[in-house]
Amino acid sequence: MIKFDIEERVAKAKKLFKEDGFNCCQAVVLAYNDLFGIDDTLAASLSSGFGGGMGRMREVCGSVSGMVMLCGLASPAADPSSKTGRTNNYALVQEVAGEFRKINGSIVCKELLGLVPIGTAGSVPAESPEPSDRTPEYYKKRPCEELVGISARIIGEKLLKMNER
């Protein structure tokens, strides 16, 4: 893996979200896909359904899903018979998700957006699958840009540590 600057990757993820209009998952994945030789179109396509907490269902935060996707590239578990591979992958996923939860109190989109109290697993009415317009009001009421930056930093730190081994 090539060396990279985490702060540049964090800034890239935030720009991809806020200025370019990618969803939270896409922004995190596209900030690092080049490290794995994955082209932008494929990375954006594979991560597209995870925005809005998986298709706007407000479940797992898209930025966390982006980290999980990158964990699959950094610590692959492609062979289902490899218990060690799966264990290593799951451990990395639990580590990055745990760090995100420690910082933000949750990994659940509806909780992070304040639609339900953190830790309640409350339900919210179904939303239209149509993405919200990216207006100044949209950005004022959502913490998504900051959450994307947090996820990009967490996964970047893990990738650098893994690269040092």
Answer whether residue 135 is part of any domain. yes
Helix, strand or coil, per DSSP, at residue 142: coil
The predicted pLDDT at position 136 comes to 85
- Alpha helices (H) along 75-143: 83-104, 109-112, 136-141
**Which portions of the chain are predicted below pLDDT 50?**
none
Residue whose pair of structure tokens reads 């939270």 in the numeric block: 24
Answer whether residue 34 is part of any domain. yes
Answer whether residue 70 is part of any domain. yes
- DSSP H helix total and E strand total for the chain: 9, 0
Answer whether residue 78 is part of any domain. yes
The predicted pLDDT at position 1 comes to 63
Number of domains in the chain: 1
The predicted pLDDT at position 152 comes to 98
| Alpha-carbon distance values, 133 to 21, 31, 37, 51, 105 (Å) | 10, 23, 32, 14, 27
The predicted pLDDT at position 147 comes to 98
Answer whether residue 1 is part of any domain. no
The predicted pLDDT at position 117 comes to 87
pTM: 0.94
Question: Which structural domain range is residue 41 located in?
Answer: 6-164
DSSP letter at 52?
H
List pLDDT tens digits, range 32-66: 999 999 999 999 999 999 999 999 999 999 999 99
CA dist., res. 107 & res. 116, Å (int): 13
